[in-house]
Amino acid sequence: MEDYKSMGFENKEQYMRYKNDIDDYEWLIPPFEFPLGVSDLSNMTKKQAQEYFDWFIPKIPERVEYLRNRCAKDLSISVKELDFSPDSLKPLWVWFLKIAKVEKMPDELLAKRQEHFGHLKVSAIFENDNQLSVVTQFIIRDIGMYLGKVFTDNYNSITWNYLAKPKRDIHVNKPQLFGFVDTNYTPPFELTFEPIHKTNVQAGKLISNTQKETDLYDIVMRFVDYVPK
């Protein structure tokens, strides 16, 4: 029997609603349980974070190939256009904006959000009860993997790794890209880039209806400036 919670679903009924979502997109289910959804790794121990990282990195080639072929098929373009260049992010994001789905947040998740963030007393957190669908979030992870490959394929100094502390860091335990340097500071300031989070931020514009077809490309080009020459 499937472990629905580990897939990011609250219960079997919610899972069944999404089983055939987004034209049977074949999402990858991690063998880990996340308390707040498919991208929450914050409560993992250092050992669990390493296990997740060791699972995540080898999955990148197969997931980006599936993504490339699915995107090319849906847009009726050659898969060669999705060549991991920064420009290839433009058709990829056009495709994503066509298939991504926004939905009402389940009551269970609203309650969890209140439990975790209610102490902040920030009304904006609770003003919008929409969210990206669970399957859309799985697609975002695949796009994040593709985004990472855009950097690692084109810039030798950029590599994958993760940070196990400090725990207050919003990207703690998450696979992210290292090697960026902001030379506007003295001494230069080292930056990291968490591609799934960056993709999720751009995707979140669908909820406020402020999305653009170049959103993903624009954020990448902003960070290209931080790649050491």
Query: pLDDT digit string (tens) for 76-126?
Result: 999 999 999 999 999 999 999 999 998 877 666 666 656 666 555 554 445
Asked, for residue 89, whether it belongs to a domain, the answer is yes
Could you give the residue ranges of the DSSP H alpha helices within the chain? Answer: 12-18, 46-75, 89-99, 107-117, 124-127, 134-154, 195-203, 205-208, 215-224
CA 208 vs CA 8, 102, 168, 189, 192: distances in Å: 23, 10, 27, 33, 27
Number of domains in the chain: 1
In a domain, 139, yes or no: yes
pLDDT tens digits, one per residue of 16-44:
555 555 658 888 887 776 654 545 677 78
Q: Is residue 145 part of a domain?
A: yes
User: How far is Cα 94 from Cα 216, in angstroms, rounded to an integer?
Assistant: 10
Q: Which pTM was predicted?
A: 0.82
Could you tell me if residue 123 is inside a domain?
no
pLDDT tens digit string along 161-208? 999 888 788 889 999 999 999 998 889 999 999 999 999 999 999 998
Domain extent, residue 84, equals: 5-102+131-224
